Structure 1
C-alpha cells in the first residue's frame, strides 16, 4: 500500500517547516510506503529550500516531492497534489494543512480504520493547539472561545459518526484520507472554478455522497491546528464566518438546495437570535463573543450571496 501525504502551502515557510518536522515522527505499519508531496501555490517559489532542508523527513521516508504551482487557487493546488499522487502510484491520498501537525499515530489510525471497514473517504478530529504567543486579553479570550468551538465540533462528530459512516459530519481537508479511486475511477475532483473562495472540500464531500461513495470518521486520528496569532482577532473570525457563509450559499444554490426567499427568512431568524444573545457577550464573552462574531458573519455572507457577491477568502494569507 502506498500513501501520499499532501500539503498545499502558500507564503508560510515557518509553519510549513513545523508541519514537515511533525511528519517525520509518523508511525507507518509494515507493508506501507509513504510519499510526502508539497505543492506551493504562489506566484513565486519560496519554500523549495524548506522542503529540501527537511533532513529528518528525507531520512524517514526518502521520497518527498516538491512542486511549484503558480496558478493561484486552493482547489488548483489540491488537484495538483492529487495528480502527482496518482502519477506516483499512490493507493490513498491524505491531506493536512501547512499550519497543522499530526499525532505520530495519525496515519496508523486511518490505515487501521480502512482495514476495519473499507470506505472511500475518511476524516478525523482537528484540535486547537495553544499559540506560541498572544497579544493580550482579547487574544486569550478568543483562544478560549475557539477552543470551546473545536471541542464542540469534535463532540458532535463522536456522537453522529463511525468508522464506516461519517453521518452528518462533513469531511474537510484539514484531516482527510481518501482512496485514489475516488479520482481515478469515480471522477470526483476539487472544483477549480471556485478560485479563491474556498469551500472546495465541502463540495467534494457532497459530490462523494451524491455518487453513493462511502465515508467514515476516525475519532482517534488526531491533528493539531496551530492558528497564526492574526486569526485570533475578532475581525478575522467575522470575515472567516462571512466568507464560509457566502461559499456555502453559492454551493447550495448550485445544487438547487436553496432559494433567495428561504435565505432571507433565515437571515431574519439569525438576526433576531443575534439581538437576543448580544447582551450575553458582555456577561460571558468567552462563551458568546465568537458566537456573536460568527452569527454576524453568517448574516453578512448570506446577504452578499443573495446580491451576487462571491468570497475571496484565500486571496490573502495569515501566518508566516
Structure 2
C-alpha cells in the first residue's frame, strides 16, 4: 500500500517545521509514504522549512506553490500531485502521534472503507474552563478543531441530528474516490482570515450521493492540535459560529437536497421553514435564561448565532441574484392561498 500525506499551509513556517519533524523521522514498515506540502501564498520562510525537512527525511517530501488563495484550491493542487493509494490529510499546526500513519494504513488494509478519521486532541496554550471539557462542552468544540468520540471504533453515518464526522486535521481517503467525485469545492474552505469552512463536510455529502460513503472512526488514529489562547475567547467562538452559519448558507442545496426549491416558498433567499427554525432556536436560547446553567445558555447562544450567519449569507446571495428574487416571488405567490 502507498500513502500520500497532504498538508496545506499559509504563513506558519515555524510551526510547520515542528509538524515536518514527524515526517523527517518517519520510517514506514509494510507500506511506502510520501508527503506533499502545498504553500497557499505564504510570505514567510515556508518554502525553506520544507526544503530543510526534505533534505533530512527518508521519505520523499515535495513542495508545491498554489497562488489562488483558499484552502480548497490548495487541497485540489495537492490531490493532483498525490500518487498514493491513500490520501492522508493533516494540518500545519498538528503533531501526529508516533504510530499515526501506521494506524491509518491498518484501517484501510483488507477493508472496503473509503475514509477514516480519528481523534484530534488538544495542546492547550492556556488551560480552558472546566465546562468546556464536559460532554456538553464538546458540542461546541468546532472552533477548536478538536475531535474525541471515545475509545470505541464505529462506522460514520450521515443521517439524523447529532451526526459525528471527522475533521481535516486527521482524515484519510482512498485517493481514487476523491478524484472520482471531483475533489474539493473551491467556494468552500478558509480564504485569508475568513472562518468559512465546510469543504470536508461537503465532500462527505458527495461521497454519499456517489454510494461511496463508507468510513470508520478509529480511536487509535491520533493527532495533537495546537489550541492558542486566542481561540478560547467568546469573541472567537461567536465569529466561528457565525461563519459556520455562512458555510451552511453556501451549502444549503446540499444540506437540504431532499427539498425541491421550486416547491418551497422563499423569503429574501431563505426557505420559509428556516425562519420558523430560527424563531424556535431563539425561543430555546431565551428559555436558558431561566436556568442556572451558564454553559447551556452559552451553547444555545452560539447555535442562535449560527442561524444568524446562515440567514445573513442567504440574504447576501439573494441580493446579488435579481433573477432568483423574481423566481422566489413567483413561488411565494403561488404558495399563498387566495383570500
TM-score interval for Structure 1 and Structure 2 normalised by the shorter chain: 0.7 to 0.9
Distance 1:22 1:84, change over 3 A: same
Secondary structure, counterpart of 1:8 in structure 2: strand
Contact 2:198 2:247 in 1 (8 A): yes
Secondary structure, counterpart of 1:129 in structure 2: strand
CA RMSD of aligned residues (A): 3.0
Matched, 1:100 2:97: no
Q: How does 1:188-207 map to 2 (within 5 A)?
A: 188-194=182-188, 196=191, 197-207=196-206
Q: In proportion to residue count, which structure has more helix?
A: 1
**Higher RCO structure, 1 or 2 (CA under 8 Å, sep 6+):** 1
Q: How does 1:272-311 map to 2 (within 5 A)?
A: 272-278=283-289, 283-285=292-294, 287-288=295-296, 290-308=298-316
Contact 1:27 1:105 in 2 (8 A): no
Shift of 1:304: 0.9
The equivalent residue for 1:7 is 7
Shift of 1:39: 0.8
Contact 2:131 2:137 in 1 (8 A): no
The equivalent residue for 2:245 is 245
Deviates more, 1:235-244 or 1:119-128: 119-128
Q: Residues of 1 paired with 2:46 and 2:198: CA distance?
A: 25
The equivalent residue for 2:108 is 114
Task: Kindly provide the CA deviation profile for residues 162-219 of structure 1, in whole angstroms up to 9, marking residues without a partner as x.
Answer: 3xx55643333221111111134x2331011336332111111110111001422222
Matched, 1:170 2:181: no
Distance 1:262 1:181, change over 3 A: same
Q: Residues of 2 paired with 1:198 and 1:257: CA distance?
A: 22
Q: In proportion to residue count, which structure has more strand?
A: 2
Matched, 1:65 2:59: no
Q: Residues of 1 paired with 2:71 and 2:198: CA distance?
A: 9
Deviates more, 1:35-44 or 1:67-76: 35-44
Shift of 1:263: 1.1
The equivalent residue for 1:222 is 222
Secondary structure, counterpart of 1:35 in structure 2: strand
Distance 1:147 1:46, change over 3 A: farther
TM-score between both structures, scaled by the size of structure 2: 0.75
Distance 1:5 1:193, change over 3 A: same
Shift of 1:40: 1.2
Specify every segment of 5 or more residues in structure 1 that has no aligned partner in the other structure, as ranges: 311-320
Q: Residues of 1 paired with 2:167 and 2:147: CA distance?
A: 13
Specify every segment of 5 or more residues in structure 2 that has no aligned partner in the other structure, as ranges: 265-270, 319-339
Contact 2:39 2:66 in 1 (8 A): yes
The equivalent residue for 1:84 is 81
Secondary structure, counterpart of 1:295 in structure 2: helix
Matched, 1:270 2:267: no
The equivalent residue for 1:261 is 272
Matched, 1:129 2:129: no
Distance 1:45 1:82, change over 3 A: farther
Q: Residues of 2 paired with 1:223 and 1:278: CA distance?
A: 38
Q: Residues of 2 paired with 1:292 and 1:39: CA distance?
A: 37
Q: Residues of 1 paired with 2:58 and 2:289: CA distance?
A: 52
How many residue pairs are counted as aligned between the two chains? 292
Distance 1:242 1:145, change over 3 A: farther
Q: Residues of 2 paired with 1:117 and 1:76: CA distance?
A: 30
Larger-gyration structure (1/2): 2
